Chains A and B, each alone.
Chain A
C-alpha cells in the first residue's frame, strides 16, 4: 500500500515536473543558419547559432533532412599542425547561453543530396536534442566561397 502510494506520488511529481519543464527544443532559437554548397554530390557543411533562453542546458544530438541521406554532427580540430574531423555525440547549449556551429569547428556534415542543392535554395533541417525533442530550421544554401550566412540569413534571423 505504502509503496504503491509512493510510486503514485512519484509519478505525479514526474508528470508535474515534465509539465513545468518544457522540452529542450522549445527553449532554442536558431539563427545564422547556412550551408556551404560544393559542386556535384560532395558533402556539405551546415552551420547555425543556437541560443538557449531556458534555465537548463540542452544538448544538440544531431539532425536529419529530407534533402540529404545522412546528416552527422562533426567537429574539426587542429592538433600538431594536422587538421582532422571527428564525429561527436552531442553539443551542449548552456542555459541562457549559445552554441555556435561555425567553419573550422562544430558543424553538421550533410551527405548524399537527394537532388542537387543550389546556392540560394532553402533547405529544411530537423535539429534533434538529447531529450528527444526536435526543432525545424531553415538553412540558406550559399556558394562554395561564402564566408558566412550572408544577408537575410535563414532560421528567423
Chain B
C-alpha cells in the first residue's frame, strides 16, 4: 500500500523520459539476428541517377528502410540470384515491404544506363530501384561502406566481368546503417531483421 504512490511516480517519470527522448526503442536495442553495424558505419549518403533518369540522393529515401546492394546487369549468375532472393524476402514481408526499397547500385555505369537498369530491377521487384551515375560518385558510395569492385580484363569480343562485394547493407528509415547481410547468412534472418525495422515504426 505504502509503496504504491512511489511506483506510480516512477512510472510517470519513466514515461516522461520516454517522451523527451522521442521513443522508448532507444532504451532497448532491436534484437537483430544479422551482423549489427549500428554506429559502426556512416549514414547513407550519395548523389546518383535513378532508373528513370532523375538525379537522386539519400534524402529521397528518408522514411524508407533501404536494402543496398552493389551489382551489375551483365552479371548472369550471382546478381540475379541475389535479386531473386530479395524479391522472396519482400514477398514474405507482405504489406510491410512497401516501407522498404531495394537500391541496386551499378558498379558498371558504362553499360548500365537508366533504361537498362529500369527493365532489370523491375524484372525482380516493384520496390527495387536501379541507381547509376558518374564513376567517381559510385566509387564514393562503394568506399563509404568499405565495399569494393574491380573490372576484369575484357575478352576478345569486348565483353568483361566485374568482381564486386557480395554484402547487402540495411539502413533504417533515418538512413542509419543497422545490419549487414552476406551470402552465408539466411534469408529468414534478413526477413526477421527487416520486419523489426519496418514494424517498429521508429526512426531510430
On whether the two chains bind one another, the answer is yes
Where the two chains meet, the residues of A that have a C-beta atom closer than 8 Å to any C-beta of B are 36, 38-40, 42-45, 70, 74, 76, 78, 81-85, 103-104, 107, 109-111, 143-147
Give the total number of A-B pairs whose CB atoms are below 8 A apart: 86
A74 to B74, CA, bound (A): 14
A7 to B148, CA, bound (A): 60
B148 touches A76 (CB 8 A): no
A45 touches B80 (CB 8 A): yes
B119 touches A82 (CB 8 A): no
Sampled A-B contacts (23; CB under 8 Å): A38-B120, A42-B73, A42-B120, A43-B74, A45-B76, A45-B77, A78-B166, A78-B183, A81-B166, A81-B182, A83-B166, A84-B163, A85-B77, A85-B78, A85-B161, A103-B78, A103-B81, A104-B81, A111-B159, A144-B123, A145-B87, A147-B81, A147-B84
CB distance from B55 to the nearest CB of A (A): 24
A76 touches B78 (CB 8 A): yes
A40-B116, A43-B74, A104-B77 known; A145-B123 Cβ under 8 A:
yes
Query: Contact mask B65-109 → A, CB, 8 Å, 1/0?
Result: 000000001111110110111011000000000000000000000
Query: Is B34 an interface residue when CB atoms closer than 8 A count as contact?
Result: no
B78 touches A38 (CB 8 A): no
CB distance from A25 to the nearest CB of B (A): 25
Point out the residues of chain B lying under 8 angstroms from A43, CB to CB.
74, 76, 159
A145 touches B83 (CB 8 A): yes
A45 to B80, CA, bound (A): 9
